[in-house]
């Protein structure tokens, strides 16, 4: 029931307060703890806040890469982190696990290690990276989530926008960093170039909107089935990212991506994900229809 989530949200005003002025600006009569979904914005016309002023300080090569991002939905920065920094990150994660400051959840995910590590926070909030993310988001970016993996995610193809949604749509970016060499045997990432230009497939697209009081009852596998059908229908090419330690991949909020099978279980597949959102957007979870709890660690204007 939506009431249960609303009650939980009631006790997290600090982490939800960022939505209040945006609700007012949009003319939505919502409290910070109210359920929220794409249905609430159907009558509105979205407008973007540009971040293109940062382009003047960037090289011609990077400007071209930004153009490629708009065209393809992703951007790769090879060797973004040095081997020394990657090694420090891996030691940091081992220490956080040993001291039980972080634990596995949602399967094999280590959530929110940035809340326990200065090293990880400094990487995720690096000023130059924040500037780039702000340009790609067309507005001021905030880091709000991290996920670390020891093994491959093996996650089915999806768009982040079904899990972490924004209004206006597209106000979120994912950053994935390889923390060791990754090939076809240890669960590389896969993605579909150009798929970010497809419609945003949300609750209504697989009959999962629910009612005023209840959430939709469809199983998540129904969403995965729908995405498989769309990929087949559009005949989109899949690419597999075989990465070197330190390589960084940025993907658009609507880029279809996932994890390949982890074939050799004797090998690890260490990686780290950051998620950022445009602070001018409402950020919420479409499936559960909850506003996202945000601990904004850094905002780059």
Instruction: Name the strand (E) or helix (H) holding 94.
Output: helix 83-98
The whole domain housing 296 covers 2-300
Higher pLDDT, 214 or 57: 214
Say what the pLDDT of residue 138 is: 85
pTM exceeding the 0.85 threshold for the entire prediction: yes
d(CA 119, CA 191): 28
Q: What is the pLDDT of residues 209-242, one digit of tens each?
A: 998 778 898 999 999 999 999 999 999 999 999 9
Q: What is the pLDDT of residues 100-121, one digit of tens each?
A: 999 999 889 999 999 999 999 9
Q: Report the CATH number at residue 45.
A: 2.60.120.620
d(CA 43, CA 217): 25
d(CA 253, CA 230): 17
- Where residue 292 falls (left for φ over 0; alpha for ψ -120 to 50; beta otherwise) is beta
Distances in Å between the alpha carbon of 131 and those of 77, 174, 222? Answer: 15, 15, 37
For the chain, the domain total comes to 1
Distances in Å between the alpha carbon of 85 and those of 101, 122, 163, 246? Answer: 21, 11, 30, 8
Instruction: Give the rounded percent of residues in the chain with a pLDDT score beyond 70.
Output: 92
pLDDT at 247 over 60: yes
Say what the pLDDT of residue 229 is: 97
Strand partners, 212: none
* pLDDT-based confidence at residue 37 (cuts at 50, 70, 90): very high
């Amino acid at each position: 029931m939506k009431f249960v989530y609303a009650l939980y949200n009631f006790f997290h005003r600090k982490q939800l307060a960022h939505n209040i002025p945006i609700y007012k600006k949009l003319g939505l009569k919502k409290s910070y703890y109210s359920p929220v979904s794409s249905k609430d914005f159907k009558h509105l016309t979205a407008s973007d806040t540009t971040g293109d002023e940062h382009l003047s300080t960037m090289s011609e090569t990077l400007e071209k890469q930004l153009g490629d991002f708009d065209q393809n939905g992703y951007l790769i920065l090879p060797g973004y982190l040095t081997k020394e920094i990657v090694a420090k990150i891996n030691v940091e994660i081992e220490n956080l696990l040993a001291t039980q400051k972080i634990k596995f959840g949602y399967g094999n995910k280590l959530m929110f290690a940035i809340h326990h590590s200065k090293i990880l926070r400094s990487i995720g909030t690096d000023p130059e990276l924040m500037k780039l993310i702000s340009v790609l988001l067309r507005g001021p970016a905030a880091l709000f989530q991290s996920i670390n993996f020891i093994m491959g995610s093996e996650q089915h193809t999806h768009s982040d926008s079904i899990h972490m949604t924004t209004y206006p749509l597209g106000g979120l970016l994912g950053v994935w960093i390889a923390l060791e060499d990754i090939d076809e045997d240890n669960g590389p990432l896969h993605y579909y170039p150009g798929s970010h230009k497809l419609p945003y497939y949300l609750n209504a697209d697989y009959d999962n909107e629910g009612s005023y009081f209840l959430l939709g009852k469809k199983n998540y596998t129904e969403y995965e089935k729908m995405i498989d059908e769309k990929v087949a229908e559009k005949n989109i090419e899949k690419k597999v990212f075989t990465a070197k330690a330190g390589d960084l991949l940025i993907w658009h909020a609507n880029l279809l991506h996932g994890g390949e099978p982890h074939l050799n279980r004797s090998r690890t597949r260490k990686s780290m994900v950051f998620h950022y959102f445009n602070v001018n957007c409402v950020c919420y979870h479409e499936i559960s229809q909850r506003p996202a709890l945000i601990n904004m660690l850094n905002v780059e204007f």
